[in-house]
Structure 1
Amino acid sequence: MLAVRRGPDGVWDRSPRTGLGGRVFTLRSLRTRRLRLDLLSRLPHVVRGDLSLVGPAPLTPGDPRAACPGARQWRQELRPGLTGLAQVRSGSAMPWDDPALLDQHYAEHHGVVLYLAVLAEAVRNPLRAALRKARPGGGTDPVQPRHT
């Protein structure tokens, strides 16, 4: 079953975001719960050039994270992404995994290797979670007896 939420504006969520060069565009996403179809529904923004596959999170105009000294410049020089370093590291509780710091780290060190690593992790995480759920026993590995 497709878990699409219906809001006051229908199944589509529309919100203004700031892109490359500070240009504001309207980001359209499916309102989904269980499945991450909202990311797939954003692919037309990649084709149009509003988003990249990997990059910092697209912020709303006036977001305070974009107003920090230095952040305004690199945010305007990079195309925001469908996924990014902050998104693939979001499950970690490490203190340096603050999304703003991870976006800044990506901006300072972005290149082909980091781009591909983030993209691979973005694909691997949902697949790993799906495989855990599909395993008998609710995703836990039973303890195997040792034979000596």
Structure 2
Amino acid sequence: MPLTLTAPRLRVPAAPPAKRVLDLVGAVILLAALGLPLAAVTALLYAIRGGRPFARQPAAGLGGRPFRTWRFDTAGPGRTGALLERCALDGLPQLLNVVRGEMSLVGPRPEARTDLPDRLLVRPGMTGLWQVSARSDLPWEEMALLDRHYVENHWLGMDLAILAQTPRAAYRQRLA
């Protein structure tokens, strides 16, 4: 099925104030709750790599505005990096991007590409509809269609449902 890139039909505002409040409150709570484990992973990666525990990847944000996502640098540290990726923990530093307003907790995954205009109508997210649907098992076209569905239909209840499903989806991926 060919992917069409027509303008999406937005039924809700692109960034309702309640979504930004959810993002800020959720990110701060997660950073506080995960502060010690995040610090431990940072120290471990720093020791293994001899420095530089983080990687910054280019991405296109709301309106195509460029920014860099924070991630744990999992390239090269062997089992530690593979474990972080498999458990979906390598992206937790993106909570800093959420606090800064560059990302949301829920939305399309951040990509450097700007040729998918529907993704640029909302902030990219740490998790999203396709991550809880099947994670990376879907073809790219189906992921793009799920992202488009999110852009056209998102509302706070959908975000809360996706957030509630994310730990189970990450755990299911870890077992696969």
Normalized against structure 2, the TM-score is what?
0.58
- Consecutive unaligned residues of structure 2, counting only runs of 5 or more, are 1-39, 74-80
Deviations 1:83-121 (A, max 9, x none): 111222234867798211110111111011211111111
Between Structure 1 and Structure 2, how many residues are aligned? 124
Q: Quick check: 2:58–2:68 contact (8 Å CA) kept in 1?
A: yes
The question of 1:34 aligning with 2:77 is answered no
Higher RCO (CA 8 Å, separation ≥ 6 residues) = 2
Counterpart Cα distance in 1 of 2:156 and 2:107: 12
Aligned to 1:138: none
Percent identity over paired residues: 40
Q: Verify the 8 A CA contact 1:90 1:97 in the aligned structure 2.
A: no
Q: Which runs of 5+ in 1 are unaligned?
A: 134-148
1:12 — aligned with what? 54
Give the direction of change, closer, same or farther, for the CA distance of 1:46–1:96 in structure 2 (3 Å limit): closer
Paired letter, 2:111: L
Instruction: Tell me how large the CA RMSD over aligned residues is.
Output: 3.2
TM-score where L is the length of structure 1: 0.68
2:96 is paired with a residue of what secondary structure? helix
Task: Give how far 1:58 is off.
Answer: 0.7
Check the 8 A contact 2:70/2:96 in 1, yes or no: no
Q: Which is further off, 4-13 or 39-48?
A: 4-13
| Structure 1 position 30, deviation (Å) | 0.4
The structure with more radius of gyration: 1
